[in-house]
């Protein structure tokens, strides 16, 4: 695992200033503290920070070159089918100088050019320099497990694993992107291609960028495809799911450093642990986190269920019950994300990665199971929507209006909150309704929040068009379309983003077997009705009956959640009231102070639950302090009180 960075001045041919690429990579040292390297040639420079996982010897050093020093690569990730590729490439006459999967990228490119990316099974982001053709290839894996962002500059292009690398480049400006901010308030994250800064883009999942001397071209090489196979019966599908997941887990166990797994007690992580235990010749190391307040465990924990799985498979199990000190860790968490990111699940995941890194360097996780096997209630809600849409429109509008009288609920995931969102979003088509369901604020709510001057910058907002591009017209079933949408938005830029940033904050590699190529292809062949026969993730749960306790498989979906509403009213109340004070909000110039004050007062009184919206505003202010005001280049070592009392 690594942090990579580089510059290609393809427009002017100007030589790279000495040490620039190295400084960019050094900003990513948390991603790879074991080694560093740099290669520069005229208008091109590549650099990396390496976390050694495979081939711990010096032969694994990057940037890595082919036999005649005409192709160079810096690589972040793991290629799980590299042994198969190596045998094939050696049979064609290629000579290897290392045991690293990185070297297979060089030889495969020599054989197949940019089309090589279609042969790779793994998680990756890499930059490959073809010196004879003066061509730079940037690529990421199918679902964006590993990140890569880039910016066009007056001289050419700069890129890096994280935004903080690009900020070392003198031509990358810190100008806030108004549309990206609007997306952030809507989704709590910023989907590609935008980043929080104007002119900086994320590379889309399943795509690559070709940068030549005359042009920059982005190409898509993979998108979720749905081709339901009606020939197989339920038993055959169960066998296929179990065998494919087992193989995917086994494939991702290769490591020359200690390896373990996150165990939440849910179906997905439990399945990963079960197949690890069946494939390994030593006990699996597992890690679980819970929360404590007032001397008691909260209901948000899944510790007891995780313990059942750990006991069944005899794992070396570590439990960490934590009382989060958000005031202490929030500046560090926000700094590692580079841009505003308000999924509060990042907080427990930060602690979980911290715990795991004390014991292992690689951890497997169950991320992706919900998107592939219909694990979210909103997928079932789409089925109900088709029935609900038969009710006359005036009646649906009246029901939607009356739904506002429902109590606020303890969180966005409570039954009343979900019912309200369903009823208020039932007026549009499938795509419009689904976007409403996965949004945390409406356009009207955001427009009330913005200052008039900032609202004017949003004129011609292109967000609907950008979102619509993720909807596949070729997929007819609404649930399949929604899952394909999530595979390109929610999974890479929410779940996989916090998995990557919080693990890399502790120099820990996280692997996700559900996102292997064979799993993605299999999920696209299973009819939607088969996946949910018996309820959410019915097929997956049935496929695992012989591997997991029924108490784990049949319990209500809980999720990796935290008591955010109460945190904001209690432990974080001074922070909320300090960072979101009217004078401070007015100073930023983005939002109307009176509207922010209303949200704070309603939440604190308990008359409404604005937890996610307030958390988003809080994180945004901390991000602005760190990246716009203080311009921190290292992990902040101070608590949030330093920001409140600036």
> What would the DSSP string read from start to end of 432-501?
HHHHHHT-SS-HHHHHHHB-HHHHHHTTT--HHHHHHTTS-TT--SHHHHHHHHHHHTHIIIIIHHHHHH
What are the pLDDT digits (tens) for 594-630?
Answer: 999 999 999 999 999 999 999 999 999 999 999 999 9
**Closest listed residue to residue 212, CA positions, set 39, 75, 44:** 44
pLDDT of residue 642: 86
pTM, whole model, 2 decimals?
0.93
Maximum CA extent, the chain:
72
**H, E, C per residue of 82-113:** HHHHHHHHHHCCCCCCCCCCHHHHHHHHHHHH
Total residue count of the chain as it appears in this document: 646
Position 295 confidence tier, pLDDT thresholds 50, 70, 90? very low
CA dihedral 368→374→377→380, nearest 10 degrees, is 160
- pLDDT at position 134, please? 97
- Give one word for 551, left, alpha or beta, with left for phi > 0 and alpha for psi -120 to 50: alpha
- Three-state secondary-structure class, residue 139: strand
Q: Residue 320, SS3?
A: strand
Residue 294's pLDDT is 46
Condensed to tens digits (0 to 9), the pLDDT of residues 26-38 reads 999 999 877 789 9
pLDDT category at 299 given cuts 50, 70, 90 is: very low
- Residue-wise pLDDT tens digits, 300-359: 457 889 999 999 999 999 998 877 788 889 999 999 999 999 999 999 899 999 999 999
User: Once rounded to an integer, what is the mean pLDDT over residues 471-493?
Assistant: 87
CA distance 261 to 276: 9
Which DSSP string corresponds to 262-310? E--SSHHHHHHHHHHHHH-SSPPEEEEEEEEETTEE-TT--HHHHHHHH
* Mean pLDDT score, 261-269: 94
- Candidates 422, 438, 436, 437; CA nearest to 389 is 422
pLDDT at 474 over 90: no
The percent of residues in the chain predicted with pLDDT above 90, rounded, is 70
**pLDDT higher for 410 or 47?**
47
How far apart (Å, rounded) are the C-alpha atoms in residues 463 and 181? 11
Distance CA 264, CA 303 (A): 7
**Cβ within 8 Å of residue 251, ≥6 positions away:** 80, 81, 121, 513, 516
User: In the prediction, which pLDDT does 424 show?
Assistant: 60
* pLDDT score at 242: 98
pLDDT at 33: 79
Chain segment 401-453, per-residue pLDDT in tens = 555 655 655 555 555 566 556 556 556 677 888 888 899 998 999 999 999 98
Residue with more model confidence, 54 or 100: 100
- Rounded CA-CA distance 109/104 in Å is 8
d(CA 216, CA 172) in angstroms, rounded, equals 18
- Please tell me the distance from the alpha carbon of residue 450 to that of residue 175, in angstroms, as a whole number: 18
Question: For the segment 201-238, what is each residue's pLDDT rounded down to a tens digit?
Answer: 999 999 999 999 888 999 999 999 888 998 899 999 99
Q: Work out the mean pLDDT of the chain and round it to a whole number.
A: 89
Alpha-carbon gap, residue 213 to 627, rounded angstroms = 33
Q: Residue 131 pLDDT > 90, yes or no?
A: yes
294 C-beta neighbours (distance < 10 Å), count: 6
Domains of the chain: 2-220 (3.60.20.10), 234-373+488-553 (3.40.50.620), 377-478 (no CATH), 564-644 (no CATH)
Average pLDDT over residues 187-192: 96
- pLDDT value for 476: 78
pLDDT at 541: 96
With cut-offs at 50, 70 and 90, classify the pLDDT of residue 89. Answer: very high
Which pLDDT belongs to residue 426? 53
CB within 8 A of 51, min separation 6: which ones?
1, 2, 31, 32, 33, 34, 361, 507, 509
Query: What pLDDT score does 254 carry?
Result: 87
Secondary structure, 3-state, 7-65? EECCCCCCCCCCCHHHHHHHCCHHHCCCEEEEEEECCEEEEEEECCCCCCCHHHCCCEE
Peptide bond into 193 cis (omega under 30): yes
Catalytic residue among 2, 149, 353, 515: 2
Provide the pLDDT for residue 548.
96
Q: Would strands 259-262 and 285-293 be described as parallel, antiparallel, or unpaired?
A: parallel
How much is the average pLDDT of 464-473? 58
Residue 296 has pLDDT above 70, yes or no: no
Can you tell me the distance from the alpha carbon of 77 to that of 102, in angstroms, rounded to the nearest whole number?
9
Check residue 145 and give its pLDDT: 98
What backbone phi and psi angles, to 5 degrees, belong to 205? -55, 145
Q: How confident is the model at residue 478 (pLDDT cuts 50, 70, 90)?
A: confident
Average pLDDT over residues 369-387: 86
Over residues 53-81, mean pLDDT: 83
Question: Which phi and psi (to 5°) does residue 5 adopt?
Answer: -160, 165
User: Hey, is 639 helix, strand or coil?
Assistant: coil
Q: Is 2 a catalytic residue?
A: yes
Distances (CA, A) of 100 to 69, 148, 486: 17, 21, 33
**What was the pLDDT predicted at 297?**
42
Per-residue pLDDT reduced to its tens digit, 550-587: 999 988 776 666 788 988 999 899 999 999 999 999 99
């Amino acid at each position: 695992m690594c942090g990579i960075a580089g510059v290609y001045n393809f427009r002017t041919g100007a030589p790279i200033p000495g040490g620039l690429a190295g400084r960019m990579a050094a900003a990513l040292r948390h991603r790879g503290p074991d080694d560093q390297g740099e290669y520069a040639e005229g208008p091109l420079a590549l650099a990396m920070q390496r976390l050694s996982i495979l081939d711990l010897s010096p032969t694994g050093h990057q940037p890595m070159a082919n036999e005649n020093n005409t192709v160079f690569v810096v690589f972040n990730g793991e290629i799980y089918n590299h042994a198969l590729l190596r045998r094939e490439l050696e049979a064609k006459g290629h000579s290897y100088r290392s045991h690293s999967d990185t070297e297979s990228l060089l030889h495969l490119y020599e054989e197949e050019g940019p089309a090589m990316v279609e042969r790779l099974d793994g998680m990756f982001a890499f930059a490959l320099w073809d010196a004879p053709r003066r061509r730079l290839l940037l690529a990421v894996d199918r679902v964006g497990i590993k990140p890569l962002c880039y910016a066009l500059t007056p001289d050419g292009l700069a890129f890096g694993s994280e935004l903080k690398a690009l900020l070392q480049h003198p031509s990358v400006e810190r100008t806030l992107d108004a549309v990206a901010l609007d997306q952030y308030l809507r989704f709590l994250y910023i989907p590609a291609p935008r980043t929080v800064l104007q002119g900086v883009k994320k590379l889309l999942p399943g795509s690559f960028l070709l940068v030549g001397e005359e042009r920059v071209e982005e190409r898509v090489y993979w998108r979720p495809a749905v081709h339901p196979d009606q020939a197989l019966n339920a038993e055959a599908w169960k066998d296929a799911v179990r065998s494919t997941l087992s193989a995917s887990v086994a494939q991702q166990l290769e490591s020359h450093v200690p390896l373990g797994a996150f165990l939440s007690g849910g179906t997905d992580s439990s399945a990963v642990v079960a197949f690890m235990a069946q494939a390994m010749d030593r006990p699996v190391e597992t890690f679980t986190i819970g929360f404590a307040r007032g001397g008691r465990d909260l209901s948000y924990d899944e510790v007891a269920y995780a313990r059942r799985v750990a006991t069944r498979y005899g794992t070396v199990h570590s439990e960490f019950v934590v009382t989060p000190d958000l005031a202490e860790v929030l500046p560090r968490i926000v700094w590692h994300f580079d841009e505003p990111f308000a999924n509060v699940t990042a907080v427990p995941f930060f602690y979980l990665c911290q715990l795991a890194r004390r014991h292992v360097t690689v951890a497997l996780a169950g991320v992706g199971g919900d998107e592939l096997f219909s694990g979210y209630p909103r997928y079932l809600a789409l089925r109900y929507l088709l029935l609900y849409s038969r009710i006359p429109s005036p009646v649906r509008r009246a029901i939607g209006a009356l739904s506002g009288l429902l109590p606020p609920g303890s969180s966005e995931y409570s039954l009343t909150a979900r019912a309200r969102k369903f009823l208020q979003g039932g007026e549009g088509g499938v795509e419009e309704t689904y976007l409403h369901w996965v949004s945390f604020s409406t356009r009207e709510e955001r427009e009330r929040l913005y200052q008039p001057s900032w609202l004017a910058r949003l004129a011609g907002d292109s967000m609907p068009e950008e979102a619509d591009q993720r909807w596949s017209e070729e997929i007819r079933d609404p649930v399949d379309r929604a899952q394909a949408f999530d595979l390109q938005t929610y999974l890479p830029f929410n779940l996989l983003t916090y998995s990557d940033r919080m693990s890399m904050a502790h120099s820990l590699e996280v692997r996700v077997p559900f996102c292997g190529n064979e799993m993605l292809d299999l999920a696209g062949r299973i009819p939607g009705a088969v996946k949910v026969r018996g309820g959410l993730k019915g097929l997956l749960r049935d496929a695992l009956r012989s591997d997991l306790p029924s108490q784990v498989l049949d319990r209500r979906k809980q999720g990796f959640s935290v008591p955010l509403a109460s945190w904001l009213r209690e432990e974080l109340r001074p922070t909320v009231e300090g960072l979101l004070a009217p004078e401070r909000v007015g100073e930023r110039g983005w939002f109307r102070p009176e509207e922010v004050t209303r949200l704070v007062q309603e939440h604190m009184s308990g008359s409404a639950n604005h937890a996610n919206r307030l958390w988003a505003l809080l994180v945004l202010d901390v991000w602005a302090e760190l990246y716009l005001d203080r311009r921190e280049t290292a992990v902040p070592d101070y608590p949030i009180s330093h920001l409140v009392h600036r």
